[in-house]
Amino acid sequence: MIRSFTLLLLIAFCGKLFPAGDSECGALESCIDYKADVHDLFSLQRGLGLYMNYCSSCHSLEYLRWNRLQKDLDIPKNILREDLILNPNIKNSDYMTFGLNSDDSTAWLGAYAPDLTLRTRVRGESWVYTYLQSFYEDASRPLGSNNLVLQGSSMPHVLSSLQGRQQLNNKGELVKVSEGKLSEQEFDNAMQDLVNFLAYAAEPIRSEREKNGIFVILFFVIFTAVMWLLNREYSKDIK
Ligand code: HEC
């Protein structure tokens, strides 16, 4: 009993020591801590809306199928076809590649925009959340923007109309130089929705897995209690 408890502690400790994703945060000391919530359906739907409007022209989601998205995010079939898929040649069972060819869809940027299905797993949710907040104007870059988390990033500040323009002050900190359509709080919330959606895309089963996890733990607790009682009864006979 004590040995298995120690083993469990050791596993939990290793998880903390070697977390999934990269905790490095570029020029920042640390990323803003954020853990995605994949149980809030409305947030995932809002995140999908942002993704379609601001990201899908460059980034694919090549491991997620349209019909899986439709089922999980409770999207009416006609909205899926008429407002999201749009192209009649794309089937509901196709992957969400948006017709992007990974090699040359963003060649005009001089860079390749990586597929985003698994990015929150590779980089970590906090990294992506902080990255999306940390764009600033930099006249030395070809597209006039840079990013504190990924220095020299070729991705333009596509969310500047929502967030407002940002620059660096002489201490190297981000300062807002114009207002966007959203207030700071609204923009934070929007980025949470977007990262929640990306975390869902990385593992569509996650919501179910986390819910099932509670039942599994509950089962073990009850099972252990029953076994303990049984053991007590048996030991009585042995004595
Ligand atoms: C105009 C094209 C374009 C749009 C639109 C765009 N991106 Fe990018 N994105 C890129 C390019 C190019 C890169 C690669 C940057 C690099 O490595 O220098 C990139 C990189 C990224 C990365 C970092 C990937 C990594 O791990 O290195 C993330 C995360 C990301 N984009 C998320 C988004 C999200 C979310 C949106 C929508 C809000 C979005 N992008 C919209 C072009 C785009």
Note the pLDDT tens digit of each residue in 165-194. Answer: 999 999 999 999 999 999 999 999 999 999
CA separation for the pair 189, 202 (Å, rounded): 20
Please report the pLDDT score of residue 167 as a whole number: 97
119 vs 2, which has greater pLDDT? 119
- Would you place residue 112 in the very low, low, confident or very high pLDDT band (cuts 50, 70, 90)? confident
Length of the chain: 239
Confidence check: pLDDT of 105 > 80: no
CA end-to-end distance (rounded Å), the chain: 22
Q: For residue 33, report the distance from its CA to the centre of ligand 1, in Å.
A: 20
Give me the percent of the chain exceeding a pLDDT of 90: 80
Please report the pLDDT score of residue 4 as a whole number: 62
Atom of ligand 1 nearest to the CA of 159: 38
CA separation for the pair 19, 16 (Å, rounded): 6
- Would you place residue 104 in the very low, low, confident or very high pLDDT band (cuts 50, 70, 90)? low
Please report the pLDDT score of residue 11 as a whole number: 58
CA separation for the pair 22, 130 (Å, rounded): 12
CA separation for the pair 158, 53 (Å, rounded): 10
Indicate if ligand 1 lies below 6 Å from the C-beta of 109: yes
Confidence check: pLDDT of 7 > 80: no
Candidate of 59, 101, 146 to mutate for ligand 1, largest count of ligand atoms within 8 Å of Cβ: 59
Q: Which residues contact 166 (CB under 8 A, 6 or more apart)?
A: 135, 136, 137, 157, 160, 174, 175, 176, 177
